Structure 1
């Protein structure tokens, strides 16, 4: 028992000593290092240091005088400390701190990595099955230059995305609206992607509802239909009645869908970065940025509280505009959670199945409904700044009197005031046929490359405007498609919010045609642009605009005469000077200070090293012991200081290179 306690105390004391020594080494090094690697370096140095030093300088005999033994112990301590610091510097150079996961993190991520690997293999099998694996490598593939070849490839891509699962189907649906990136054969084929899915059994849906609401569904709903109204890949919808008698719709997220989407988004992001680095087409399309925007949109779609807030925002904007022909279901916010959405039930039927109802309205009423929808979308884009991105026929309900109801506001676009103003300028310029103003507005909406052929861009936009202004021209898809292709060929980077505008306009083309097959979208757009210009030029609008600008500029104007007088007086008396504060930015001061500290440490280390060499050369000097002189002691001390200072400089250099990389 005593031997066991003695052994345990020995082990504990050794561990304690190693940890304390490791903390001392980390403090002396001046950079915060991982505790595990510091303990490993301290243990290696403490184990091998005495043997290495004895090989360089034999240890004194046991009978030596205490001063000699003390000096050797001090030298051994300094040598072990320097050896531990050197090991840390080498480890930092080879394996930077934070580049490898810790043991606990590695253990936790093991199952995730295994699941991701299986998913990778499944995706690769799907790509190989549909003949798409050749596009994961190489440069330009000349087998897709003709329209039939592109249609075959687009068909294979659509099938592969369908086999890939919900995340890839959503990605394909978003790509179907990017006419600025993909040829028309691809956008047409990808538009056929269906988001249907087999319904989830009611028992599982019930568990989701009770888990999210925190109570039995009988305490919330008077009744709820176990048969879903619709089932999609992300959620399914059930009709229900609340205890107060209100008819509502309950949207419940599929169990486990968030984990699946999160894993697939990580895989898609990794694939995008790899393809952008290794293939020409991946770099041309800017896949990483495209995937980042898609990931953000899909993350919003999976959080039903965001959709609830979007509904309230859009409904408020519609009330402010006084629009009576378009409605948005009002959510019951007290019953909405990230995975459950409860909203009022609308009485209409989906636009895609409402041909008989629309026919009963008559041609004039159908045109009015289409005009109302176009007016609402334009007002959302140019006034409120929050708009429905994916307003396809499946997301609109038609009531008996022609009133429309917007559904599925999980993903909406948001435009700031500057972007809204530029979009308005673009619409107005297209409506008036001003190619110069349209070019300026377009360049304000996109990310300009270093060199832009503005004259050529203006000529191309002028040609596109002819499609808007030519009498009888009604091919809106061709006109907007030409604008998208122009943006792509000019290498103009499209920001996500601007891409959402293009997506909304492209989707609106098919939607208004479903309402009124003969609807002249181009003519209506021209009229909307002209109407907006006329509205901005009314006396009240001009007066409001001038008042706003004056209110903004008035404080500056009031101070301007006094400042001009001061400048004139200073110039007259020769006191006018220009003062520039160097290093006014704290980041600049920190940078210069850091450089100065590194240079000072390097200078002190080099000086200490040179002095130690000189002392060893002129030694031994006055003897401290029969074999050791004062110069040897001082030289050894200065050598230790020199090595420590140089190691501090090196560790900072390695750490900075790692952070910048």
Structure 2
């Protein structure tokens, strides 16, 4: 009961702020006032407020509503597939700060989280915080071993507050979804659900520790990933190696010492970006200047791994092909890839879709790939996909925003750096790895295993269909000759599936034997493997010949059974 009253008060507070910034009409359309019991009265927006852009007013609304809504804005700013570029630009400026907690409270939170007196874990903790944000506060500290670390401590009660606010957001989203026609393929409830998931991950510092350790698995010559101290970390406390250096932001502002090499930094940032994208398949989702430290020797240190994206091998390959297709001005391939990696909400006119992509690529005709702004081009392609109601997977959207941030940094540090030329060796390496003999044989083995599974499952699925037909779950009218033909076809399919299952098993076994015999000149084919492959080919060939000639399989019209 008490929580319900608090929620109602918070909902009224939200409605007042929304009206204050000129979005009262939105609440009118949702009929939220009926749920609140009365229309809330708030100061009318000033003339200057109304003259400001909707994006600016939206940013100010979120900023005034507090931590949960600020985080919502920051997460949305990384999703160019969800909101327009002008909103992204405004939301990217949202600053997440909060008054610092007193040291006594911080020490108590450390002890509650780690279940030990803080003096057993740390020699000292600096009373002055390095940073104080809405979710956590960061302090320098020293371990009993003398190692310098930073300790990130979650604010008390923040999880309860965020859960309460996101529940209210879900309530508001259902209102919006029910009454606003132009919500598009990204429904308000879907957006809030993604936000809730992202926030719960950000509140779990153990998740961030896992992300850091995953990045740290791969050795880097010029990039430092901070070490995690798991014995000094938990869900609400995270202890990391301290990286002491200069914030990249200072370099971009021109306040760096003369020994900082801007061109070298640009190249190393770009190399690290492509290493993550093409080689490792895991990338930093928020590489803004505040999360990059310039260390001695122009090395880079990366911070804040709360937002991380992961790419499968297929995703990595599609990105390479997309870049090549854009470089070759091949709208057919671009259209095919966007349609393939996206999630179409409905059938689309592919001919018109390709024509619209052709129009976009034509605007860049005559320009080198290095002269094309990837941010602008990706935004145009994303907007076009949304126009055709093709939903872009989250990983690609986060990557698009991260790439835009990196591109902006590179252009400030070294405008003459040829991004395409730097990317080429990484893209080549990805394709070489993709089509290497070991990768191809592994892919073939997976395909054969899938085929074996398909052949094993199909009889059971066919049996289920026949049982449904026999049990009267389908109303079917079939002439005698059609039933006779069906019986013949079922027998033929049964023989084909039986022989095919044996053949696929022999093939998988043969490949397993091949992998076990190797010599100085490569892999030798053992006699048993050759015999298995030969027998498999004979069995499968005999089955196919019998079904096509003796069994006389004909195509079945499913529609006739469903009329």
Task: Say yes or no: TM over 0.5.
Answer: yes
Change (3 A) 1:575 1:380: same
SS at structure 1 position matched to 2:398: helix
Q: Is the CA contact (8 Å cut-off) linking 1:396 and 1:404 kept in structure 2?
A: yes
SS at structure 1 position matched to 2:29: coil
**Alpha-carbon distance between aligned partners in 2 of 1:390 and 1:242, rounded to the nearest angstrom:** 29
Residue of structure 2 equivalent to 1:304: 205
Residue of structure 2 equivalent to 1:473: 371
SS at structure 2 position matched to 1:239: strand
Change (3 A) 1:189 1:566: closer
234, 258, 262: which is aligned to 2:135?
234
Residue of structure 1 equivalent to 2:60: 159
Residue of structure 1 equivalent to 2:147: 246
**Alpha-carbon distance between aligned partners in 1 of 2:554 and 2:351, rounded to the nearest angstrom:** 40
Residue of structure 2 equivalent to 1:290: 191
**Alpha-carbon distance between aligned partners in 2 of 1:428 and 1:566, rounded to the nearest angstrom:** 43
72, 77, 87: which is aligned to 1:176?
77
561, 572, 596: which is aligned to 2:538?
561
Change (3 A) 1:253 1:368: same
**Alpha-carbon distance between aligned partners in 1 of 2:551 and 2:93, rounded to the nearest angstrom:** 74
225, 229, 234: which is aligned to 1:328?
225
Structure-2-length-normalised TM-score: 0.73
Deviation at 1:399, TM superposition (A): 1.1
Deviation at 1:217, TM superposition (A): 0.9
Q: Is the CA contact (8 Å cut-off) linking 2:62 and 2:73 kept in structure 1?
A: yes
**Alpha-carbon distance between aligned partners in 1 of 2:434 and 2:56, rounded to the nearest angstrom:** 54
Q: Is the CA contact (8 Å cut-off) linking 2:375 and 2:403 kept in structure 1?
A: no
Change (3 A) 1:441 1:474: closer
Change (3 A) 1:563 1:312: same
Residue of structure 2 equivalent to 1:50: none
Residue of structure 1 equivalent to 2:389: 491
**Alpha-carbon distance between aligned partners in 2 of 1:122 and 1:540, rounded to the nearest angstrom:** 55
Q: Is the CA contact (8 Å cut-off) linking 1:395 and 1:408 kept in structure 2?
A: yes
1:346 equivalent to 2:271? Answer: no
Q: Point out the more displaced range, 429-438 or 325-334.
A: 429-438
Deviation at 1:336, TM superposition (A): 1.1
**Alpha-carbon distance between aligned partners in 2 of 1:369 and 1:377, rounded to the nearest angstrom:** 12
Q: Deviations 1:271-291 (Å, cap 9, x if unpaired)?
A: 112112111233454222222
**Counterparts of residues 307-318 of structure 1 (less than 5 Å):** 307-316=208-217, 318=218
**Alpha-carbon distance between aligned partners in 2 of 1:280 and 1:381, rounded to the nearest angstrom:** 38
Q: Is the CA contact (8 Å cut-off) linking 1:325 and 1:403 kept in structure 2?
A: yes
Deviation at 1:546, TM superposition (A): 3.8
**Alpha-carbon distance between aligned partners in 2 of 1:560 and 1:205, rounded to the nearest angstrom:** 70
Deviation at 1:196, TM superposition (A): 1.6
315, 321, 335: which is aligned to 1:425?
321
188, 192, 197: which is aligned to 2:93?
192
Residue of structure 1 equivalent to 2:498: none
Deviation at 1:149, TM superposition (A): 7.2
Residue of structure 2 equivalent to 1:407: 303
Q: Deviations 1:103-144 (Å, cap 9, x if unpaired)?
A: xxxxxxx222222111111101111121212123439xxxxx
Deviation at 1:578, TM superposition (A): 9.5
Deviation at 1:324, TM superposition (A): 1.7
Q: Deviations 1:304-324 (Å, cap 9, x if unpaired)?
A: 0000000000111x32xxx32
Q: Which runs of no fewer than 5 residues in structure 2 stay unpaired?
A: 31-48, 449-502, 508-532, 557-563
**Alpha-carbon distance between aligned partners in 1 of 2:416 and 2:117, rounded to the nearest angstrom:** 50
Q: Count residues in correspondence.
A: 453
Deviation at 1:333, TM superposition (A): 1.1
Deviation at 1:539, TM superposition (A): 9.9
Change (3 A) 1:368 1:460: farther
519, 527, 530: which is aligned to 2:421?
527
Q: Is the CA contact (8 Å cut-off) linking 1:275 and 1:283 kept in structure 2?
A: no
18, 35, 53: which is aligned to 1:127?
18
Deviation at 1:374, TM superposition (A): 2.3
**Alpha-carbon distance between aligned partners in 2 of 1:206 and 1:375, rounded to the nearest angstrom:** 40
Residue of structure 2 equivalent to 1:453: 349
**Alpha-carbon distance between aligned partners in 2 of 1:297 and 1:137, rounded to the nearest angstrom:** 30
Q: Deviations 1:463-504 (Å, cap 9, x if unpaired)?
A: 444538604735443223222322222221122222222222
Residue of structure 1 equivalent to 2:468: none
**Alpha-carbon distance between aligned partners in 2 of 1:277 and 1:387, rounded to the nearest angstrom:** 37
**Alpha-carbon distance between aligned partners in 2 of 1:536 and 1:313, rounded to the nearest angstrom:** 20
204, 208, 212: which is aligned to 2:113?
212
Change (3 A) 1:217 1:420: same
**Alpha-carbon distance between aligned partners in 2 of 1:495 and 1:137, rounded to the nearest angstrom:** 33
**Alpha-carbon distance between aligned partners in 2 of 1:116 and 1:491, rounded to the nearest angstrom:** 35
Change (3 A) 1:464 1:569: closer
Residue of structure 2 equivalent to 1:255: 156
**Alpha-carbon distance between aligned partners in 2 of 1:351 and 1:387, rounded to the nearest angstrom:** 19
**Alpha-carbon distance between aligned partners in 2 of 1:511 and 1:369, rounded to the nearest angstrom:** 10
Q: Which runs of no fewer than 5 residues in structure 1 stay unpaired?
A: 1-109, 140-147, 581-661
SS at structure 2 position matched to 1:360: coil
Residue of structure 1 equivalent to 2:171: 270
**Alpha-carbon distance between aligned partners in 2 of 1:484 and 1:213, rounded to the nearest angstrom:** 45
SS at structure 2 position matched to 1:405: strand
Deviation at 1:357, TM superposition (A): 6.6
Deviation at 1:423, TM superposition (A): 2.6
Q: Deviations 1:623-647 (Å, cap 9, x if unpaired)?
A: xxxxxxxxxxxxxxxxxxxxxxxxx
Q: Is the CA contact (8 Å cut-off) linking 2:185 and 2:391 kept in structure 1?
A: no
Q: Is the CA contact (8 Å cut-off) linking 2:78 and 2:88 kept in structure 1?
A: yes
Change (3 A) 1:529 1:296: same
Q: Is the CA contact (8 Å cut-off) linking 1:385 and 1:414 kept in structure 2?
A: yes
Change (3 A) 1:537 1:294: closer
**Alpha-carbon distance between aligned partners in 1 of 2:74 and 2:366, rounded to the nearest angstrom:** 31
**Alpha-carbon distance between aligned partners in 2 of 1:535 and 1:114, rounded to the nearest angstrom:** 60
**Alpha-carbon distance between aligned partners in 1 of 2:323 and 2:397, rounded to the nearest angstrom:** 15
**Alpha-carbon distance between aligned partners in 1 of 2:207 and 2:154, rounded to the nearest angstrom:** 14
Deviation at 1:153, TM superposition (A): 2.0
**Alpha-carbon distance between aligned partners in 1 of 2:343 and 2:281, rounded to the nearest angstrom:** 20
Q: Is the CA contact (8 Å cut-off) linking 1:431 and 1:527 kept in structure 2?
A: no
Q: Is the CA contact (8 Å cut-off) linking 2:434 and 2:440 kept in structure 1?
A: no
Residue of structure 2 equivalent to 1:337: 234
